Amino acid sequence: MNAATAPIPPVVPVRPPASAARRLVDAIGSMRLAVWTMLFFGVLTWAGTLAQKDLGLYVVQRDFFESFFVRWDTGVEIADTFVLKIPLPGGYLLMLVMFVNLVVGGMLRVRWSARNIGILITHLGMAFLLVAGFVKMHYSYAGHVALYEGAKTSTMVSFHDFELALLRKDGDAILERTVPEALLAGSPLLDDAALPFTVRIGNWMQNCEPRQKGPMFEVDVPVVKDPSGAGVYLSQMEVQPERERNIAGCYATVVDRKTGAESTGILWGADFRPHDERRSPFTFEADGKTWGLDLRRVTWDLPFAVRLDKFQKSDHPGTMTPRDFSSWVTVFDDGAEQQFHIYMNHPLRREGHVFFQTNWGPQPGSSLRGPPWYSVFEVASNPSDYWPEAASYVILFGLLLHFVLKLFRYLRSSNHNATLPEMS
């Protein structure tokens, strides 16, 4: 080889070293980060699905998908010494990273060209979908309304969460203040100078039931007298994975500020009948007034009242397979009345609240028997109600556009024709 025939080395343009900020943006918007985030999200989803069998949906949703980190208890024992627990990034963290990565890498850094129009539209739809999920998580709430035929209400009740309501009878009206469940565990003292008493909460139990104290056994919780004079105590029950099946309870000790007199009662969050107005709070007298403490599912006011006019359930002939559940309701709003028909897949949407036909009763086999029937509506308030549907159209359009264009480009390319085998 001589110098004249030696290959000329290619000229490699020398780029100036990227700044730290630039490298950070590159990393945040990189496709590698997208792939790793998705892989972790896939593993988390798989783990969260399997974990539901033991933990139930509520706990899994909270611990796996609405968290920053989770330690997945696989239940697998290693050499009979310890249970394998795998740390994973939580769903909230992963979706946050995914959103930032999507916006930075998939929308801002990607070249805005006709070639990438499908990708841009798809990423826009995905980002919108994640935003919808964020809004749903932080700004929505859901509960239920259960009504017998002819009954009317303007409140909805949570499926899961409890609250302590302090009630005061004021003439015909009842005034109330509420304390959320999160503040009730850990034996808190409710002390407000405006009140003539303090309330000490003790022995908070997530799932329990009151039982009569017999002479043959002892219990390690207070025993209180019920109106008939019998001793009653709260018995701890196994916490159910389906959180709506748990009935919380606790002891409340009221101390009069003036006299120092104490009275202790049991608060139990059971709701025996649908939308039972006749609840039985723990009542006491203080400062010449009648007060009450009621442990109940969190209750929200609706912007209108609703009455169940008629409920109808029909089965496929000769079977117990339900064919249809239907409720006819009347909505009372600002003096006006309006009738609606709510049935499966056809909810009532009104003033930011959506009513879904979700259940009915009394079910066969229960202690109660119909008629009269009651109908149960799930009620949700979600500002991003329609956003996912809009996002799905955007994403579908983007994906179709991208892949169809890509296919046509490929079919028209010389690359494709070159790979076709020769046949005769």
- Residue 419 found at the interface with another protein (CB under 8 A): yes
Encoded one letter per residue, x for contact with another protein by CB under 8 A and - for no contact, window 30-69 reads: xxx-xx--xx-xx--xx-xxx-xx---x--xx--xx----
CB of 184 to another protein, least distance (A): 26
* Mode of pairing for the β-strands spanning 374-381 and 197-205: unpaired
For helices 91-103 and 117-139, give the axis angle rounded to 10 degrees: 140
CB of 241 to another protein, least distance (A): 9
- Residue 70 found at the interface with another protein (CB under 8 A): no
CB 210 within 8 A of CB 221: no
Instruction: Choose the binding region for another protein from 73-81, 132-140, 184-192, 286-294 (rule: CB under 8 A).
Output: 132-140
* Closer Cβ to another protein, 183 or 396, answer by number: 396
Give the residue, chosen from 117, 219, 270, 399, that forms a contact with another protein under the rule CB under 8 A. Answer: 399
Q: State residue 131 phi and psi, 5-degree precision.
A: -65, -40
* Closer Cβ to another protein, 266 or 391, answer by number: 391
Tokens of 214: 């017999």
Instruction: Count Cα atoms within 13 angstroms, Cβ side, for 162.
Output: 27
Helix or strand or coil: residue 1?
Answer: coil
* Closer Cβ to another protein, 144 or 208, answer by number: 144
**203-206 contacts at long range (C-beta below 8 A, 24 or more positions apart):** 203/234, 203/250, 203/251, 204/248, 204/249, 204/250, 205/234, 205/236, 205/237, 205/248, 205/249, 205/250, 206/239, 206/246, 206/248
* Closer Cβ to another protein, 262 or 315, answer by number: 315
CB 313 within 8 A of CB 375: no
Q: Which amino acid is at 57?
A: L
Give the residue, chosen from 204, 284, 356, 374, that forms a contact with another protein under the rule CB under 8 A. Answer: 356
- Footprint on residues 240-299 left by another protein (CB under 8 A): none
- Footprint on residues 305-344 left by another protein (CB under 8 A): 315-319, 321-325, 343-344
CB of 364 to another protein, least distance (A): 16
* Closer Cβ to another protein, 345 or 414, answer by number: 345
Helix or strand or coil: residue 61?
Answer: helix
* Closer Cβ to another protein, 157 or 232, answer by number: 157
> Residue 139's Cα: distance from chain center in Å?
11
Instruction: Choose the binding region for another protein from 163-171, 189-197, 214-222, 350-358 (rule: CB under 8 A).
Output: 350-358
- Residue 210 found at the interface with another protein (CB under 8 A): no
Compute how many other C-beta atoms are within 10 angstroms of the C-beta atom of residue 397: 14
Give the residue, chosen from 15, 335, 411, 414, that forms a contact with another protein under the rule CB under 8 A. Answer: 411
- Residue 351 found at the interface with another protein (CB under 8 A): no
Give the residue, chosen from 180, 400, 408, 413, that forms a contact with another protein under the rule CB under 8 A. Answer: 400
- Residue 189 found at the interface with another protein (CB under 8 A): no
CB of 323 to another protein, least distance (A): 6
Peptide bond into 372 cis (omega under 30): yes
CB 355 within 8 A of CB 342: yes
Close Cβ partners of 11 (under 8 Å, ≥ 6 residues apart): none
CB of 251 to another protein, least distance (A): 34
Total residues in contact with another protein, by rule CB under 8 A: 71
